[in-house]
């Protein structure tokens, strides 16, 4: 039975900051941020947005009534959870009007969460062929103002429906994975911002990619000629570039040039949005599908979550995928965003809603939003 991604949608906040303006405000050469880090814009969420509201928005962009009835599993991958106990998935049940005979939970392993969700969903569908699964990645990446990681922030959500006979990406079920206890990035429960050993994290990421690619070749007698495209976890676009560059000189030049060209298509959206944490690999997939992909292409996807878990797996783009993805709406959503000044971004960064906050819906620019914090409980609404 063929199983994989049947639909994929995205949500990004309506505001962004310009990375050149950020560089100037931090007295940094803009080339360091645009070339050295590889970013152009950074999505900035409003205080009424969080992992739940963004997840609702991305899922809502792809779910039909028929999909909802067929759902048997809902997994939200996030490392920006809003509750230590209740999962983001539970909040989505009434926001998305889902039937209650669904197994739902939240999953966390840094930026690997969505891939863990996706592979779990594939197993679920193989056991329940008539059912579908909804996997959502949703995160706000925060390192703090004036930190080295600030330029690698971002926010957004990617939602995927997994089913049999998928119309976007069939997963070949060929996969290798690994886990090591590594201190490259972490966020203690008391902290709103992440701590990272940035350069060390780069080294571990590249090492995981090389180790997994070796394992994949051995396990499946594969060669690079089996693939036309490599997609990477891209917290910032230079990071994937570093992993890709390790293949230069080890594979034919023409293949390296092809992979590099396709990688450029896969990072277009990330350059515009920034870090989605666990959604980053899937924003790259969507960018590739929207900007360059061809039917029947064989992809290799590298997922990495600090801490650290890595997985390298393959998929086949399905014929007609471009009729399933709402490319115009995605491009329009990116184009219609409003630029925010660095001063306004800094002010908004400090806002943290407290118990008793009531949000005025007139001031909201998102279909799903945090409406109130009452008795320390976050309550959500959908704009009428
Ligand atoms: N023009 C072009 N490139 C420039 C430049 C300029 N004027 N100045 C610096 N650069 C390049 C550097 O050569 C470097 O490139 P390299 O990585 O290929 O060597 C890059 O810009 C970054 O410079 P660096 O001095 O290393 O930056 P930094 O000390 O500010 O740290 C990060 C950058 C990415 C390590 C930091 O932002 C960070 O820690 N981010 C979070 C990392 C993370 O999230 N990890 C976990 C994700 S899985």
- Supply the CATH number for residue 206's domain: 3.40.47.10
CA dihedral 141, 144, 149, 152 (to 10 degrees): 40
- Is 123 annotated to bind ligand? no
Q: Give the distance, in angstroms, between the CA of residue 207 and the centroid of all CA atoms in the same chain.
A: 21
pLDDT of the residue at 63: 98
Q: Using CA atoms, how far apart are residues 284 and 232, in angstroms rounded to an integer?
A: 7
* Residue of 111, 150, 272, 311 with catalytic role: 111
Residue 9 Cβ contacting ligand 1 at under 6 Å: no
Is the pLDDT reported for residue 279 higher than 90? yes
Please say whether the beta carbons of 305 and 184 come within 8 A. no
Is the pLDDT reported for residue 372 higher than 90? yes
**Of all protein residues, whose CA lies closest to atom 17 belonging to ligand 1?**
36
Q: Using CA atoms, how far apart are residues 355 and 61, in angstroms rounded to an integer?
A: 30
| pLDDT single digits (tens) 227-264 | 999 999 999 999 999 999 999 999 999 999 999 999 99
Q: Which residue among 37, 109, 184 has the greatest number of ligand 1 atoms within 8 angstroms of its CB, and so is best to mutate?
A: 37
Query: What ranges in 46-112 are assigned the alpha helix state H?
Result: 51-60, 65-70, 88-95
**Mean pLDDT (the chain, rounded):** 97
pLDDT of the residue at 179: 98
pLDDT of the residue at 349: 96
Mean pLDDT of 166-192: 97
Please say whether the beta carbons of 45 and 273 come within 8 A. no
Total of domains in the chain: 1
Among 53, 99, 97, 94, smallest CA distance to 76 is for 53
**Of all protein residues, whose CA lies closest to atom 13 belonging to ligand 1?**
36
| pLDDT single digits (tens) 313-355 | 999 999 999 999 999 999 999 999 999 999 999 999 999 999 9
Give 203 Cα–ligand 1 centroid separation in angstroms. 12
Q: How sure is the predictor about 77, in pLDDT bands with cuts at 50, 70 and 90?
A: very high
**Of all protein residues, whose CA lies closest to atom 43 belonging to ligand 1?**
198
Q: DSSP of 94-135, one letter per residue?
A: HHTT--S--EEEEE-BTBTHHHHHHHHHHHHHHHSTT-EEEE
Is the pLDDT reported for residue 295 higher than 90? yes
Q: Which residue among 27, 149, 153, 198 has the greatest number of ligand 1 atoms within 8 angstroms of its CB, and so is best to mutate?
A: 198
Q: Which residue among 30, 36, 139, 309 has the greatest number of ligand 1 atoms within 8 angstroms of its CB, and so is best to mutate?
A: 36
Three-state SS at 231: strand
pLDDT of the residue at 240: 98
Q: How sure is the predictor about 384, in pLDDT bands with cuts at 50, 70 and 90?
A: confident
Percent of the chain whose predicted confidence (pLDDT) is above 70? 100
pLDDT of the residue at 380: 98
* Residue of 79, 106, 272, 297 with catalytic role: 79
- Is 143 annotated to bind ligand? yes
What are 110's two structure tokens?
């840094």
- Annotation says 233 is catalytic: yes
Q: Using CA atoms, how far apart are residues 265 and 258, in angstroms rounded to an integer?
A: 11
Which domain range does residue 341 map to? Answer: 3-382
pLDDT of the residue at 151: 98
pLDDT of the residue at 145: 97
- Count the Cβ atoms, other than its own, within 10 Å of residue 133: 27
Three-state SS at 159: strand
- Count the Cβ atoms, other than its own, within 10 Å of residue 356: 10
Residue 192 Cβ contacting ligand 1 at under 6 Å: no
Give 205 Cα–ligand 1 centroid separation in angstroms. 14
């Amino acid at each position: 039975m063929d199983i994989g991604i049947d639909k994929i949608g995205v949500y990004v906040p309506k505001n962004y900051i310009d990375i050149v303006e950020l560089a100037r405000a931090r007295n940094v050469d803009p080339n360091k941020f645009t070339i050295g880090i590889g970013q152009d814009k950074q999505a900035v969420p409003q205080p009424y947005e969080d992992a739940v509201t963004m997840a609702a928005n991305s899922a809502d962009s792809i779910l039909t009534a028929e999909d909802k009835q067929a759902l048997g599993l809902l997994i939200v991958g996030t490392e920006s959870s809003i509750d230590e106990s209740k999962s983001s998935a539970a909040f989505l049940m009434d926001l998305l009007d889902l039937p209650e005979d669904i197994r739902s939970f939240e999953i966390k392993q840094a930026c690997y969460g969505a891939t863990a969700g996706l592979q779990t969903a594939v197993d679920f569908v193989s056991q329940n062929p008539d059912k579908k699964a909804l996997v959502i990645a949703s995160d706000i990446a925060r390192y703090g103002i004036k930190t080295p990681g600030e330029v690698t922030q971002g926010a957004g959500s990617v939602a995927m429906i997994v089913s049999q006979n998928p119309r976007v990406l069939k997963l070949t079920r060929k996969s290798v994975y690994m886990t090591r206890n590594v201190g490259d990035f972490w966020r203690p429960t008391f902290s709103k911002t992440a701590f990272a050993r940035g350069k060390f994290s780069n080294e571990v990421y590249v090492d995981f990619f090389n180790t997994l690619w070796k394992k994949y070749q051995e396990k499946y007698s594969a060669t690079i000629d089996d693939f036309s495209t490599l997609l990477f976890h891209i917290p910032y676009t230079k990071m994937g570039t570093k992993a890709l560059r390790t293949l230069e000189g080890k594979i034919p030049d023409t293949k390296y040039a092809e992979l590099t060209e396709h990688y450029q298509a896969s990072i277009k959206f990330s350059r515009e949005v920034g870090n989605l944490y666990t959604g980053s690999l899937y924003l790259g997939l969507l960018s590739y599908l929207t900007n360059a992909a061809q039917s029947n292409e064989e992809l290799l996807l590298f997922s990495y979550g600090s801490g650290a878990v890595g997985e390298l797996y393959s998929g086949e783009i399905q014929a007609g995928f471009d009729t399933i993805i709402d490319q115009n709406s995605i491009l329009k959503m990116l184009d219609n965003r409003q630029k925010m000044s660095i001063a306004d971004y800094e002010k908004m960064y400090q806002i943290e809603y407290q118990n008793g906050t009531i949000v005025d819906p007139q001031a909201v620019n998102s279909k799903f939003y945090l409406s109130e914090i009452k008795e320390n409980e976050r309550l959500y609404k959908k704009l009428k």
